[in-house]
Amino acid sequence: ENFTNVFVDHEDPMGKTETASWRSLITPLGIAGASTLCAMAVGLMAAVAIARYRTGGQVWPFYVLSFRMIPAMVLAVPFACFTGYLSPGVMPFILALIYVAYTAPLATWLLKGFIEQVPREIEDAAMMDGLSRWQSHFKITVPLIRGGLFSTGLFIFILNWTEGPLALSLGYGEWITMPVQVINKTASPNLQAALAVLAAIPPLIIGFYIRRHLGRAFTLGAIKG
């Protein structure tokens, strides 16, 4: 019954009619999916620049990753003050942009590890066959790391799907993500538990698949970084 109430209108214990919560499953899919694609595009370009061209020297990878050290709540308060003057309709786009800025550094770090596993000599051989430098990256190296690329994308998606502080400060009305919806159901603990279970299913399934690939990326980054 609790899982059914997620998808249909129902009455809470106080007799008040509550609307179905299925929209809280659709909204985070759109926000997390769009921000994941953008973060992966930015991260891949940055990872190629760092791994193959040593852009920024030895310290630049640390500077890129250091942005992840900033607690989300530190960013949530000023962003909430700034976006308070904007229309609610733009909140999904603002939230997606913030997610891109927050997850692109981690995507860069992980993809850098996968790219460094591909010998540079393979790209050199492709260039001797007539490919340009960037063609060798995207026609040779990227297909070779497609498993790591896919795993990194799923990992970034999990981070965006489960992010709480920023979504809590910026999302309201119909534009709320799953963590915010779970928090809002405090008055209905049974429904809150059902939503929490549904929210945990995608990360569990994805985490089971990507654990081997990401473990290799983190280890290689620690050794070669």
Is it the case that residue 117 has pLDDT exceeding 60? yes
Helices (H), 84-170: 91-116, 120-128, 133-136, 142-144, 146-162, 165-170
- Tell the CATH topology of 2-224: MetI-like fold (1.10.3720)
Phi then psi for residue 95, to 5 deg, are: -65, -40
pTM attached to this predicted model: 0.81
Among 14-23, 30-39, 198-207, where is mean pLDDT lowest? 14-23
Q: How far apart are CA 222 and CA 69, in angstroms?
A: 17
SS3 83: helix
Residue 168 contacts residue 179 (beta carbons within 8 Å): yes
- Band (221; pLDDT cuts 50, 70, 90): very low
For the segment 163-174, the average pLDDT, to the nearest whole number, is: 73
**Closest of 18, 42, 186, 219 to residue 114, by C-alpha:** 219
Mean pLDDT of the chain: 80
